[in-house]
Amino acid sequence: MKPFEKRESWKSRTGFIFAALGSAVGLGSIWRFPYVVGQNGGAAFILLYLIFLALIGFPILIAEILVGRTAQLSPFGAFKKIGKNKFWGLSGKLVIFTGFIISSFYSVIAGWMLGYLIEAIFGHLSFSGSAQALEHFDKLSSSAFWSIGFHFLFMALSILILFFGVRKGIEQKSKIMMPLLIVVVIILVIKGVTLPSASKGLKFLLSPRWDLVTPAGILIALGQAFFTLSLGQGTMVTYGSYLSKKEDIPKSCFPVVLLNTLISILVGIAIFTIVFSQDLQPAVGPSLIFETLPLVFTKMKLGYVLSIFFFLLVTLAALTSEISALEPFISYLIDEKGWKRKKASIFTGCLAFLIGVPSALSFGLLKRFTLFGLNFFDFVSFLSVNILVPLGGFLIVVLVSYIWGIKKAFEHLKVSKEAFFHHRPWVAMYFKVCLKYISPILIILILLNILGFF
């Protein structure tokens, strides 16, 4: 199981923070978060989401990073080393598989974003009404050439970054892309809140409406807290495996959770102040980004520039997430098969591209092809995001809490006298209760709900 090449590592703590933040901030936080907040009670939903972040998101993030950092191996090797038997090796393979499948269809949607960025640059996104915006989106997303083309291009970009490895690839590029992303978010927020009817958008997003909080909405908040931190699919275990043994894990993870939440809320503010400024209703799902927003930009002063900024923002966010979904499999090939990084990256990229093709065709050629009543894209995304991701989270929680043992695991967090875990028994207690009891119970609830038990 010995790595054949010297294992790569992050150059600095900031590098790790930007890379992990890049993974967290993605389509989930930028595209999905704002409208689930709007639909499920505004600030009331945000409060629930924050509670779940504290109870399961943050503790599981720490658990994943800790497993990777201690083993210094891909999720397969790490699970096997800590779990000490075949079952845990297999579980490690399962989480790698989950990340890999996510990368295949994530690239399809991200490809649409890239495609729309190009459309915006060429000035093709100016519409007379919503029917025309919808028609344009349908035409593009059902075109095999367009969707496979941009899926390919996006995958190629991701592989190009991964090709250069942990420091020169993931870390260095995240350190450029994430600050750029933050600048774009700030520009859009400033534009949004200075629009005449900004208060309507702010109210939609931020006023607490407890009457809109439903049991289903609570589970959405729970799932969101999980997906947004890229948990349950090997990503954070792998990113943790590149972290130095001296690093104080809670101190490096806290900014990731905080900034990810802040960015999601700011993007929500930008989107809704902009949408409401034109007296449009925020739609849900793909139509918010691909129909409503282009239409709003058409009507706005400086809309051309804003639309370019907006699609640049989403594309950057998706890119830093995509690479993090591909990396676990690449690190597996390097650690276990002794492959060189370049070969492993190209192989992973080609395979993920091919597996993503039926997803790219699910809105056109393969529209009528269904599995369990879902088109291919919906099927793989449902299977991975709703079932495999919580399952992966459950496995990691059991591994750390019951197989490794909280006490032993936490010893590895006390890296120095100044470490966050030293002399703070209440912190250890809090993480222990969250990981041992609260997380497994909540994850089982998510799974039972998805399987239709409630």
Question: Smallest distance, Å, CB 326 to ligand PHE?
Answer: 9
Examine residue 115 and tell whether it contacts ligand PHE (CB under 6 A): no
Among 74, 158, 174, 321, binds ligand PHE (CB under 6 A): 321
Examine residue 348 and tell whether it contacts ligand PHE (CB under 6 A): no
Closer to ligand PHE by CB, 234 or 303: give it: 234
Query: Cα dihedral sign for 120, 121, 126, 131?
Result: negative
Question: Smallest distance, Å, CB 23 to ligand PHE?
Answer: 6
Reduced DSSP (H G I as helix, E B as strand, rest coil) percent helix, strand, coil of the chain, to 5: 80, 0, 20
Closer to ligand PHE by CB, 125 or 257: give it: 257
- Among the residues of 278-340, which ranges form H helices? 286-287, 293-299, 303-337
Question: Smallest distance, Å, CB 266 to ligand PHE?
Answer: 15
Examine residue 235 and tell whether it contacts ligand PHE (CB under 6 A): yes
Phi-psi region of 279 (alpha: psi -120 to 50; beta: other; left: phi over 0): left
Using CB atoms within 10 A of its CB, is residue 91 exposed (0-12), middle (13-18) or buried (19+)?
Answer: buried
At 104, list the tokens: 């295949």
Question: Smallest distance, Å, CB 129 to ligand PHE?
Answer: 31
Examine residue 315 and tell whether it contacts ligand PHE (CB under 6 A): no
Among 205, 221, 316, 325, binds ligand PHE (CB under 6 A): 325
Examine residue 28 and tell whether it contacts ligand PHE (CB under 6 A): yes
Q: Which residues contact 384 (CB under 8 A, 6 or more apart)?
A: 98, 101, 102, 105, 233
Examine residue 23 and tell whether it contacts ligand PHE (CB under 6 A): yes
Question: Smallest distance, Å, CB 200 to ligand PHE?
Answer: 27
Q: How far apart are the first and last CA of the chain?
A: 44
Q: For the range 334-338, what are the long-range contacts, defined as Cβ-Cβ under 8 Å and sequence gap of 24 or more?
A: 334/3, 334/4, 334/5, 334/74, 335/1, 335/3, 335/7, 335/73, 335/74, 335/76, 335/77, 336/1, 336/74, 336/76, 336/77, 338/4, 338/5
At 223, list the tokens: 């799932």
Q: Quick check: 114 and 120 in contact, CB under 8 A?
A: no
Question: Smallest distance, Å, CB 373 to ligand PHE?
Answer: 25
> Stretches 139-147, 274-282, 300-308, 320-328: which one binds ligand PHE (CB under 6 A)?
320-328
Examine residue 29 and tell whether it contacts ligand PHE (CB under 6 A): yes
Question: Smallest distance, Å, CB 31 to ligand PHE?
Answer: 8
Examine residue 102 and tell whether it contacts ligand PHE (CB under 6 A): yes
At 212, list the tokens: 């809109």
The span from the CA of 81 to the CA of 304, in Å, is 53
Closer to ligand PHE by CB, 32 or 175: give it: 32
From residue 212 to residue 231, the character string flagging contacts with ligand PHE as x (rule: CB under 6 A) and all else as - is ---------------xx-x-
Closer to ligand PHE by CB, 172 or 321: give it: 321
DSSP class of 280: P
DSSP class of 30: I
Closer to ligand PHE by CB, 19 or 269: give it: 19
Closer to ligand PHE by CB, 174 or 235: give it: 235
Among 19, 21, 24, 170, binds ligand PHE (CB under 6 A): 24
Question: Smallest distance, Å, CB 25 to ligand PHE?
Answer: 7
Question: Smallest distance, Å, CB 329 to ligand PHE?
Answer: 12
Examine residue 233 and tell whether it contacts ligand PHE (CB under 6 A): yes
Examine residue 324 and tell whether it contacts ligand PHE (CB under 6 A): yes
Examine residue 98 and tell whether it contacts ligand PHE (CB under 6 A): no
Question: Smallest distance, Å, CB 198 to ligand PHE?
Answer: 26
Query: Cα dihedral sign for 234, 237, 243, 248?
Result: positive
Q: In b/e form, how buried is each residue of 51-65, taking b as 16+ CB within 10 angstroms?
A: ebbebbbbbbbbbbb
Note the residues at the interface with ligand PHE (CB under 6 A).
Answer: 23-24, 26-29, 102, 227-228, 230, 233, 235, 321, 324-325
